Each structure stands twice: as C-alpha cells, then as structure tokens.
Amino acid sequence: MGRKQAIVIGAGIGGLAMGIRLQSLGFDTTIFEKLDAPGGRAYVRSVDGFTFDMGPTVITVPHFIEELFALGRDRADLTSADFPAEIVDESKRVTSGISGGPNTSRYVKIVPILPFYRIYFDDGTFFDYDGDPEHTREQIQRLGKPGDLEGYEKFHEQARAIFERGFLELGYTHFGTVGSMLKVAPDLLRLDAVRNLFRFSSRYFKSDKLRQVFSFETLLVGGNPLSVPAIYA
C-alpha cells in the first residue's frame, strides 16, 4: 500500500509547520504557495535595493521553531505538550538567548531582542517592554498613578492564570466539536479571559498609558485590543 498523500495550501509559517508535521507522521506532503517565495508573514520583498519585511519580525514563542526541527521523518511524537523551562518559568524566558536546539542552529539563528519593544507616548515619555518584572515595576512607579503598582501585581497574577490555562493547557487541545469548545468555556469565563483586552487591563490600571502598554501586544498579531479577548494577556 502506498504512502498517504497530503496537500497544504499556503507556505507561510503555519503551512510550513504543518508540512513538517505531516512528513513526520508519514505523509508525502506538497505545499502550494501563490507568491514567488515562502514565508507568509515572514515574507521579504526586495525592490530597487530596498528590503521590506512583509510582516512581524518577532517570534514570541521560539520553542515552537525548536520543536519543528526536532521532529524526524516518520517518527513524530505529538501525544503530549513539551514546554521547556524557559517557557513555563517566567524568570528564564528573557534570558533564553540564542537558539540551542540540536538542528535549529544549522538553519536559523534566533537571538533575543531587548527591549521587546519601546512604546512612545505623545508627551515624549516611553515604556520599555522587556519581560523583566523588576524593571516593569520601576517603570510603573514612574508612569503610573497611585494604586497602579498594586494593580500590576493583580494583573500579573490573573494573566499568569490565563496563560497557564489558555496557552500551556489549551494550546495542545484538539477542538474538533462544538462540545469540546463549550467544555472549556466555564474556565475562560471564570478567568475573565473573554473580556476584551483593553477593558481587562483597565480593571487593574488607572493610568491610560499603562492600560495601553498592557494591551498593546495584540497588535503584533493584527488584533485590536478593543475587541481581542483577554486570553492574549
């Protein structure tokens, strides 16, 4: 009996990742792309000596790239989530540094960017988002209003709970039926993860600047903080 065939439409990061996983599961896989090169959001166009990034240049979860390069043809192990310490342990996320995967570094160099981004306000002040809790607290004291530092601690605790349930657990959950989606709805409602992100952050911060800071990052995935749910917190 011949090998199973699979077709993937689109050679963006998601399509390429799917192709790698299908190959690992034993499928002969063909990927079709309408543009002249793969990449999707990571596509690069060069015109008259100028180079344009056609999408975000930041990888927020580099472990997913590591995971793909660790897969071998016809021997995938997709039975459980395998999150390394730098993903689960917040203190290690910022310092994870250059990719250290056994195969990844042969093809891709992943380096940390600090700060992740700098947010400028119209009065000339700015906030450096770098994932360092102590530095974050210092900036909240500088830019925030009374009570915002305490609000940050509560925001951080709630965002961690959403991350652990909505990302670490549900990120590897197959939602093949309406029932499977409804099953997790009570948890998301309890965590307030369905409220839009700007309203969610506004519950914890009085400063408009900090409300913007802690709902800004959804723009990296093309999301509007006024409509995207707080599961992205």
DSSP collapsed to 3 states, 19-74: HHHHHHCCCEEEEECCCCCCEHHHCEEEECCEEEECCCCCCCCCHHHHHHHHCCCC
List Cα–Cα distances, 75 to 33, 136, 141, 161, in angstroms.
Answer: 26, 43, 51, 34
DSSP track, 168-217: IIGGG----SHHHHHHHHHHHHHTTTTSBHHHHHHTT---HHHHHHTTGG
Boundary (domain end) residue, out of 106, 128, 155: 106
Domain that holds residue 137: 118-232
pLDDT of 208 > 50? The answer is: yes
Confidence check: pLDDT of 157 > 60 = yes
Out of 71, 106, 141, pick the residue that ends a domain.
106
Q: How many CB atoms lie within 10 A of CB 176?
A: 8
Residue with structure tokens 């700007």? 198
Kindly state whether residues 78 and 133 are assigned to the same domain.
no
Q: Is the pLDDT of residue 99 over 50?
A: no
- Cβ atoms of 192 and 165 closer than 8 Å: no
**Same domain for 159 and 193:** yes
- Residue 213 falls inside a structural domain: yes
Q: Are residues 135 and 80 part of one domain? A: no
8 within 8 A of 15, measured Cβ to Cβ = yes
Q: What are the CA-CA distances from residue 192 to residues 67, 121, 160, 170 (Å)?
A: 31, 28, 12, 16
Q: What is the largest CA-CA distance in the chain?
A: 70
88 located within any domain: yes
Check pLDDT > 50 for residue 108: yes
Does 111 map to a domain? Answer: no
* Distance separating alpha carbons of residues 137 and 129, to the nearest angstrom: 11
pTM: 0.71
Same domain, 54 and 149: no
pLDDT digits (tens, 9 = 90+) for 178-201: 887 778 778 777 777 778 899 999
What's residue 97's pLDDT?
38
Query: Do 151 and 49 fall within a single domain?
Result: no
- Considering the domain architecture, whether residues 71 and 163 belong to the same structural domain is answered as no
